[in-house]
Structure 1
Amino acid sequence: MARTAQRGTSKRASGRASTGPVRVGIIGTKFMGKAHANAWLSASRFFDLPRGIVMQSASGRDARETCRFAENWGWRTSTDDWHELVADPEVDLVDVCTPNHLHAPMSVEALAAGKHVACEKPLAGTLEDAREMRDAARKAKRKGQQTFVWFNYRRVPALAFAHQLIAKGRLGRIFHVRASYLQDWGHPDTPLVWRFDSKQAGSGAHGDLNAHIIDLARFLTGDEVAEVIGGVEETFVTRRELVGDAGAAIKGSRGRGGKAKTGRSTVDDAVLFLAKFKQGAVASFEATRMATGNLNRNNIEINGEKGSIKFDFERMNELEWWDHTLEPGLRGWSRIMCTEAGAHPYVESYWPAAHGLGYEHGFVSQVADTVRMLGGRKPEVTMPDFEDAFETQRVLEAAILSARERTPIRMSSVK
């Protein structure tokens, strides 16, 4: 079943360059669907963009729920058939924000239909699916289509600024990268939502969280992983209470009476690994959703010959900086509030100095850069496409291989 509004009469091909508005179709109406919808709704209100944005269509599994989602966020039409959305000639770009196992079929079909595609991270649940997406994107690129991946932390001003500092050589030669992404929502009483099912998610904390910090390490250093050296993969909770949806998981609902039914968790709860970059830096990566007391702690520290940076998403408007070029008596960690228009990326489009940004602004800034690119302009910082995100997927795969085979894995062996 579907609900549709009156369609326009435009005959413009979706994959063709245009100065008209970007007409967006979104697949997925839950957590990421809301984050993305807010971004599409907000971007043109904050940024001066080369093209307008039309929120054309939304698709979800439940027709009534999707209709409510569309009405709430301003989508013109809604449908419970994602194939219908992908085939819609009034859609130029398909935004995929569904569980990981659906990324490949939806993205590949959308590319074949001539659409641009923006896909949630990780690129896919498996390396095989990610490879299929990369290959489809390569073919579509020759026809002028573009792909985008929602590694939203690249557009946190403090991290975008750190990227610029490192690119200018302010840290000099990079020696170490230490990255961890710690959450605690996966405690034992959290029900068996899709993120604990390997058939839907591909992996657990690894693909969910390590994907972000691998991407950040690559983005910040401008370097690629050459080898993964030792990995640890662990599942602490093997059975979890069954629930109907993610909302019940947040509330910890048990349903009515009696002992709750349980199902098997088939993903990792924690993955740690070491790596070496092509230019010689060594790195450690750690991801878990069972780090009690760490609500959403995305940390990265980079040590270089001339200085170091530290970032913690729980203090997302701040960047810590050590300048080793100063004379010894002046050296020390300094705290930079990354809220200064003209000095720090993206912030001039939002609020006055010292008025901090939030989680949602990374998505809004990503939409702005997406529309810039579709209008022939450059993004403020580099945008990951399917080709770029496939490199992160390869590192994810190498880490699991290293953990299971108890051996170093050269990236050249992960195709």
Structure 2
Amino acid sequence: MELRDSEAPTLGVGMVGYAFMGAAHSQGWRTAGRVFDLPLRPVLAAIGGRDARAVRAAADKHGWAAAETDWRALVTRDDVQLVDICTPGDSHAEIAIAALEAGKHVLCEKPLANSVDEAEAMVAVAEQARGRGQLAMVGFNYRRVPAIAYARALIAEGRLGELRHVRVVYLQDWLVDPQFPLTWRLKAEHAGSGALGDLGAHIVDLAQYLSGELLVGVSAQLETFVRERPLLQAASAGLSASGGMDCGPVTVERGPVTVDDAALFTGRLASGALASFEATRMAAGRKNALRLEINGELGSLSFDLERLNELSFHDHGEPATTAGFRRILVTEADHPYLEAWWPPGHALGYEHTFAHQARDLVEAIAAKADPAPSFADGLQVQRVLAAVAESAERNAAYTPVPTVRAVQAVQQAVQAVQAQH
């Protein structure tokens, strides 16, 4: 007999970070146990951030029991069994490694790290922790869109046959204005890369997840269209001053953008199928346009995040007189994740992907099963991103994606990261 959620053992969650992703993850943890019958009941034990006032406000808003201003204190709390990392990429390795060594399970937002070396160190520590019973997962939430999960099932069943083409684009426009301030996402020391890591990580993961194959090589171009932007504090001061009647002209201090605005690359999957990718934050009019299409010998699938409850499917074996793409409304109870939600036709949204992510991780922890995507999956994406950056530096030269590196190199990466912290 299954336990009702209120009777299930608890899983104390501690989250580091409270901004956009922190809010999204909070929604997922707060909702998952109230919708799905989980073997462990997530409890929002503590949230962490450097600004005491802001993190306390976030705790009150999102339902966290406690607030911490030092992530080190959060990861060692007795009431925290799982650490959820929603910080900029430059802190992922340090926090994840410390949490795993403290005996906690870990969920880390994508991209896994800012470099291959850091990602390898995280994987090595995660593998050691796995032997002690701790699990680690990277947060590629778009895998948890029911239509995308269903697309993966159709491809795995062979409905498309041998794959020929995978094409994915992710378009946003929030950097089109050259006066948009120089936030942390535009600084390589914090973000690692720009559109490549922020958006490209998602579409690389989706291409590999849906196809069931790894990318083995890429040819790429990167571009930064606006190379200087107003400093955040200076921009705020300038905007405030410009509102006064007698303040006169204001000079706003600017700083260099050290990441890419856009990434364009092609690739080849292990089977020989071709792939193409575009990731940009400079596509005027596109707010969060993630689109993909996969073509195989027997048919095709396409998906648009702006219609995330729908999947388009073409069966090339049907008579030409009636064949074509047909719309599948992915809201039936036997579609992925839908058994616990609303009646057919009642659409889900972006925030549901985080509840699905939480459900999958909780069930993996209870079953002592390897979660997906794993840190190793995150590392593979990181290797693709690094190959893209290398190819762009070499004027779009074809660059292989390594899938295996020597154990000695991984161990050295672990030692390097630990020495820094």
TM-score, normalisation: structure 2: 0.89
Contact 2:83 2:104 survives alignment (8 Å): yes
Partner of residue 200 from structure 1, selected from 190, 211, 215: 190
Aligned-partner SS, 2:168: strand
Contact 1:369 1:378 survives alignment (8 Å): no
Task: Confirm whether residue 215 of structure 1 aligns to residue 195 of structure 2.
Answer: no
Cα deviation, residue 261, structure 1: 2.0
Cα deviation, residue 189, structure 1: 2.5
Partners of 1:307 and 1:127 lie apart in 2 by: 36
Mark the runs of 5 or more structure 1 residues left unpaired by the alignment.
1-18
Partners of 1:272 and 1:40 lie apart in 2 by: 35
Residues 332-371 of structure 1 deviation map (CA, whole Å, 9 limit, x = unaligned): 11111111111x1112211111111111000111001111
Query: 2:311 matched to which residue of 1?
Result: 319
Query: 1:166 matched to which residue of 2?
Result: 155
Partners of 2:399 and 2:162 lie apart in 1 by: 24
Partners of 1:202 and 1:392 lie apart in 2 by: 14
- Pairs aligned (count): 389
Partners of 1:61 and 1:108 lie apart in 2 by: 19
Partners of 1:279 and 1:267 lie apart in 2 by: 32
Contact 1:398 1:414 survives alignment (8 Å): no
AA aligned opposite 1:112: E
Query: 1:347 matched to which residue of 2?
Result: 338
Task: Confirm whether residue 275 of structure 1 aligns to residue 260 of structure 2.
Answer: no
Residues 377 and 127 of structure 1: CA distance in aligned 2, closer, same or farther (over 3 Å): closer
Query: 2:87 matched to which residue of 1?
Result: 98
AA aligned opposite 1:175: R
Partners of 1:105 and 1:254 lie apart in 2 by: 36
Partners of 1:90 and 1:414 lie apart in 2 by: 37
The percent identity for this pair of structures is 47
Cα deviation, residue 413, structure 1: 7.9
Contact 2:383 2:402 survives alignment (8 Å): no
Structural RMSD (CA): 1.8
Query: 1:16 matched to which residue of 2?
Result: none
Partners of 2:394 and 2:203 lie apart in 1 by: 23
Contact 2:140 2:205 survives alignment (8 Å): yes
Task: Confirm whether residue 288 of structure 1 aligns to residue 259 of structure 2.
Answer: no
Task: Confirm whether residue 185 of structure 1 aligns to residue 170 of structure 2.
Answer: no
Partners of 2:368 and 2:322 lie apart in 1 by: 41
Cα deviation, residue 377, structure 1: 7.4
TM-score, normalisation: structure 1: 0.91
Partner of residue 363 from structure 2, selected from 350, 361, 372: 372
Query: 1:256 matched to which residue of 2?
Result: 241
Partners of 1:107 and 1:83 lie apart in 2 by: 11
AA aligned opposite 2:327: R
Partners of 2:29 and 2:20 lie apart in 1 by: 15
Mark the runs of 5 or more structure 2 residues left unpaired by the alignment.
1-7, 243-249, 406-421
Contact 1:59 1:80 survives alignment (8 Å): yes
Cα deviation, residue 244, structure 1: 4.7
Partner of residue 121 from structure 1, selected from 104, 110, 123: 110
Query: 1:82 matched to which residue of 2?
Result: 71
Contact 2:93 2:113 survives alignment (8 Å): yes
Query: 1:9 matched to which residue of 2?
Result: none
Aligned-partner SS, 2:351: helix
Contact 1:174 1:281 survives alignment (8 Å): yes
Cα deviation, residue 262, structure 1: 1.5
Cα deviation, residue 20, structure 1: 2.4
Partners of 1:311 and 1:377 lie apart in 2 by: 33
Aligned-partner SS, 1:177: strand
Contact 1:318 1:338 survives alignment (8 Å): yes
Residues 13-43 of structure 1 deviation map (CA, whole Å, 9 limit, x = unaligned): xxxxxx7211100000100000001111111
Cα deviation, residue 127, structure 1: 1.4
AA aligned opposite 1:316: L
Query: 1:308 matched to which residue of 2?
Result: 300
Aligned-partner SS, 2:240: coil
Query: 1:50 matched to which residue of 2?
Result: 39
AA aligned opposite 2:85: V
Cα deviation, residue 52, structure 1: 0.7
Contact 2:238 2:251 survives alignment (8 Å): no
Partners of 2:372 and 2:353 lie apart in 1 by: 12
Partners of 2:241 and 2:376 lie apart in 1 by: 48
Residues 413 and 303 of structure 1: CA distance in aligned 2, closer, same or farther (over 3 Å): closer
Contact 2:11 2:42 survives alignment (8 Å): yes
Query: 1:156 matched to which residue of 2?
Result: 145
Residues 66-118 of structure 1 deviation map (CA, whole Å, 9 limit, x = unaligned): 11111221111111011000111221000000011010111011111111000
Partners of 1:86 and 1:300 lie apart in 2 by: 38
Cα deviation, residue 259, structure 1: 2.9
Task: Confirm whether residue 226 of structure 1 aligns to residue 216 of structure 2.
Answer: yes
Partner of residue 241 from structure 1, selected from 221, 225, 230: 230
Partner of residue 35 from structure 1, selected from 24, 27, 45: 24
Residues 248-272 of structure 1 deviation map (CA, whole Å, 9 limit, x = unaligned): 99xx993333232211110000111
AA aligned opposite 2:301: I
| Residues 332-343 of structure 1: pairs in structure 2 closer than 5 A | 332-342=324-334
Query: 2:350 matched to which residue of 1?
Result: 359
Contact 1:394 1:414 survives alignment (8 Å): no
Query: 1:59 matched to which residue of 2?
Result: 48
Aligned-partner SS, 1:330: coil
Contact 2:170 2:199 survives alignment (8 Å): yes
